[in-house]
Structures are given as structure tokens and as C-alpha cells.
Chain A
Amino acid sequence: ETGVTQTPRHLVMGMTNKKSLKCEQHLGHNAMYWYKQSAKKPLELMFVYNFKEQTENNSVPSRFSPECPNSSHLFLHLHTLQPEDSALYLCASSQDGGPGGTQYFGPGTRLTVL
């Protein structure tokens, strides 16, 4: 589990706040992912970065803004969120974005939007 770290582990924010989630992988991987895990729903893929380039944006609202400055770091910038955005946000990495690659997950950030 220490291969992919996420901070903070818990975050409470108001709808007008701006905050950022951070993910760091220590596995030498080239692809990184953001997922949203809500109660009673399957994991939803939000964004994919492959060699620092965004290769997928899964129809995510613009109030979520990803940033990938290098292959080891991934951020999710949050702005004017809604209560329904409360969820566990998981970061993952894989060797590359190719088919069948194993993804390794961080512990997640539990986000609560008031």
C-alpha cells in the first residue's frame, strides 16, 4: 500500500471552498488514474494520465480539474463542489496505459462536501 500515497486522507469542505487532493506513486509507473467511489455504486473512472498526458476524461464536471506535473504526481483540484460529490476518491497507477495492466491503488481521500 505504501507504493501509492494520497493526502489528505480525510477532507471536509464547503461548497465555495477550493481544495486539492494529492497522489504520489513510488513504483516507477507511467500511468495514473483518478476514481470516484460512492456508496452503492461501482467505481467510476474519472481521469487517466499516460506519460503525463491526459488520455481520458470520463465526462467529469469541470469543478474537478486534474493536474499531472510528472509521472509520479497527480492532483485533483476541487472548486465549488456539490454535496453529491461526497465520496472516496481513489488514485491508482500502472506501468503504462496499455490493455490488461495491473493498477495499484492508494488508500483514498474521504471527501465530505457540506
Chain B
Amino acid sequence: AQSVTQLDSHVSVSEGTPVLLRCNYSSSYSPSLFWYVQHPNKGLQLLLKYTSAATLVKGINGFEAEFKKSETSFHLTKPSAHMSDAAEYFCVVSGDGNDMRFGAGTRLTVKP
């Protein structure tokens, strides 16, 4: 079985400052891990995916995430926030089969 915990329900940053969205996972298998973003009234868009290759994964729009097995973490970062980054972000773990477990989401607010 697998599960994922997003440690912050809401993160607020100023435009141009770094973004850190935290995610911890639990999995009985070698997991695949994802970050998705959801803008208001839109579906989920894939930001990036980890599948046991490089531990540092680069995604779209300048986001990246680092898989740390020892810490069971997969935190999402971006060096400089943009207003258009304001959205809901979901960390997802997939283990055996087609069972994807979604975190509760982190709402990112970007202040001018």
C-alpha cells in the first residue's frame, strides 16, 4: 500500500522568491512519484515524474523535485515564483498496479 502526505495545505510566497512545496510518501514498492498542478476551473496538469532514474527531476515551468529515499520525501521547488504559478499542487505516489494515491493538495499563493 502507498500513501502521500503534503505537509502544508497553503503556502504563500512573494513573486520572485523561491517556492518549496513539501511531500512525504510511504510505499511498499519502488514508487513512481508525480507532481500535478491544477489551476482554477481546470483539470490536473503533469508537472514532473520520478521513476527511479535520476533523483533530481526537472519539470515544466522551471519546477523540479528531488527524490530522497532516506527521508521518503519528494519536495517540489522553483527558484523564483511567478504570478502564474498560483494554483493547487498535488503530490501523487503510484506503486503496484494502477493505484495512484493523491495528497490533499497545497494551495500556492503568489503575492506581487
Contact = CB atoms under 8 A, between A and B. Distances in A.
Interface residues on A, range: 20 to 34
Interface of B: 29, 32, 34, 36, 41-46, 49, 51, 90, 94-105
Given A41-B104, A100-B94, A105 B34 contact: no
Nearest to B29: A99
Interface string A36-54: 0000111101001010000
Contact of A45 (B32, B96, B100, B103): B100
Interface in A1-36: 1, 4, 6, 31, 33
Given A42-B104, A100-B32, A1 B98 contact: no
Interface of A: 1, 4, 6, 31, 33, 40-43, 45, 48, 50, 55-56, 90, 92, 94, 97-108, 110
Contacts of A108: 42-43
11 contacts: A1-B45, A42-B102, A42-B105, A50-B98, A55-B98, A56-B98, A98-B97, A99-B95, A99-B97, A107-B41, A107-B42
A18 to B, nearest CB: 25
B43 A97 contact: no
Nearest to A110: B41
Given A41-B104, A98-B97, A105-B44, 8 more contacts: A33-B98, A43-B102, A50-B98, A100-B32, A105-B43, A107-B41, A108-B43, A110-B41
Most central of A6, A31, A50, A107 by chain B CB within 10 Å: A107
A56 B100 CA distance: 12
